[in-house]
C-alpha cells in the first residue's frame, strides 16, 4: 500500500522551505526597520544645549514698563509683580504672586488680571484670572467697569475681546453676555449672545 519516498526527494523539499522562508524573513526585517523608524521619528527631540526647553531666560520682579508713540506720548504701560520671558517662542508671562496683580494701561483705561501672556512686541496680551477693566468717569458719565474670566487685548489698537462671559457695570446700569468685543477708541462695546442687562437713569 505505502511506498517509501526516494531519498533524492528530500533535497527539493528543503530547497522549497528555504525559498519560501527567504521572502518571509526579508519582510520581517523590513517590518522591524519600519517599527524602529516610527519610534525614532515620533520620539521627542533630544535636548542638546537646552534648545528645546521652555525655560525663562529673564525674570523681572516688581516692574513698571511704559511704551510711547512716535510723538513721545505715553501709549500704554505694563505693571506687575513678576515677568518671565521665554526665548523659544519670544513670549512673556506675567504672574501674580500673593496679592499683587498684573496691570495694563490703555489711554485712560486700566486692565488688571491675575496672569498675562504677552507676545514678543507687546502688541497683544492674553489676560486670565479675574480680569477687570476700569474706565474712569468722563464727560458727566460714571466710571465703567468690565469683568471677565479671560480677555485678549490688542494694545496698539486699544481693542479687547473674549469668546466667553463678560459683564459691564456703569453706575446702576449693567449688561452681560457671551462673546464680547470692545473698542476703547470709538467707545463701542458689543455682545454676541446670551445678552441681559438693566438700564437705570
Tell me what pLDDT residue 114 has. 82
Tell me what pLDDT residue 169 has. 92
Angle made by CA atoms 193, 198, 199, in degrees to the nearest 5? 120
State how far the Cα of 142 lies from the Cα of 138, in Å rounded to an integer: 7
State how far the Cα of 159 lies from the Cα of 182, in Å rounded to an integer: 6
Q: Tens digits of per-residue pLDDT, 18-31?
A: 777 777 888 888 88
What does each C-alpha distance from 82 to 62, 88, 95, 146 come to in angstroms? 6, 19, 6, 24
Tell me what pLDDT residue 156 has. 77
Pick from 34-43, 116-125, 180-189: least confident: 116-125
Angle made by CA atoms 94, 127, 158, in degrees to the nearest 5? 110
Tell me what pLDDT residue 193 has. 92
Percent of the chain residues past pLDDT 70, beyond the cut: 75
Q: How does the average pLDDT of the chain come out, rounded? A: 77
Residue given cell 526579508 in the structure block: 26
Confidence category of residue 164, pLDDT binned at 50, 70, 90 = very high
How many beta carbons lie within 10 A of that of residue 16, not counting itself? 10
Q: Tens digits of per-residue pLDDT, 78-91?
A: 777 777 777 766 66
Q: Quick one: which of 114, 53, 107, 109 has its CA closest to 82? A: 114
Radius of gyration over every alpha carbon of the chain, rounded to an integer in angstroms: 33
Tell me what pLDDT residue 83 has. 76
Q: Does residue 34 register a pLDDT over 70? A: yes
Q: Does residue 178 register a pLDDT over 90? A: yes
Segment 61-67 shows an average pLDDT of 74
Spell out a b/e string for 117-138, using b for 16 or more CB atoms within 10 Å of the CB, else e.
bbeeeeebbbbbeebbbebeee
Segment 190-195 shows an average pLDDT of 92
Pick from 4-13, 54-63, 75-84, 128-137: least confident: 4-13
Amino acid at each position: 500500500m505505502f511506498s517509501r519516498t526516494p531519498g533524492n526527494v528530500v533535497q527539493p523539499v528543503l530547497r522549497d522551505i528555504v525559498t519560501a522562508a527567504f521572502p518571509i524573513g526579508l519582510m520581517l526585517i523590513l517590518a522591524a526597520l519600519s517599527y524602529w523608524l516610527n519610534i525614532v521619528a515620533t520620539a521627542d527631540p533630544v535636548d542638546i544645549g537646552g534648545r528645546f526647553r521652555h525655560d525663562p531666560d529673564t525674570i523681572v520682579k516688581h516692574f513698571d514698563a511704559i511704551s510711547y508713540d512716535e510723538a513721545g506720548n505715553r501709549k500704554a504701560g505694563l505693571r506687575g509683580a513678576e515677568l518671565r520671558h521665554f526665548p523659544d517662542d519670544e513670549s512673556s508671562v506675567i504672574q501674580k504672586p500673593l496679592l499683587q496683580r498684573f496691570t495694563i494701561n490703555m489711554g485712560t483705561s486700566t486692565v488688571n488680571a491675575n496672569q498675562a501672556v504677552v507676545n514678543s512686541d507687546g502688541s497683544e496680551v492674553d489676560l486670565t484670572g479675574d480680569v477687570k477693566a476700569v474706565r474712569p468717569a468722563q464727560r458727566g458719565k460714571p466710571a465703567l467697569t468690565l469683568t471677565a474670566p479671560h480677555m485678549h487685548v490688542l494694545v496698539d489698537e486699544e481693542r479687547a475681546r473674549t469668546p466667553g462671559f463678560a459683564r459691564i457695570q456703569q453706575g446702576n446700569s449693567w449688561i452681560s453676555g457671551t462673546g464680547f468685543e470692545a473698542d476703547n477708541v470709538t467707545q463701542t462695546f458689543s455682545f454676541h449672545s446670551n445678552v441681559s442687562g438693566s438700564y437705570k437713569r
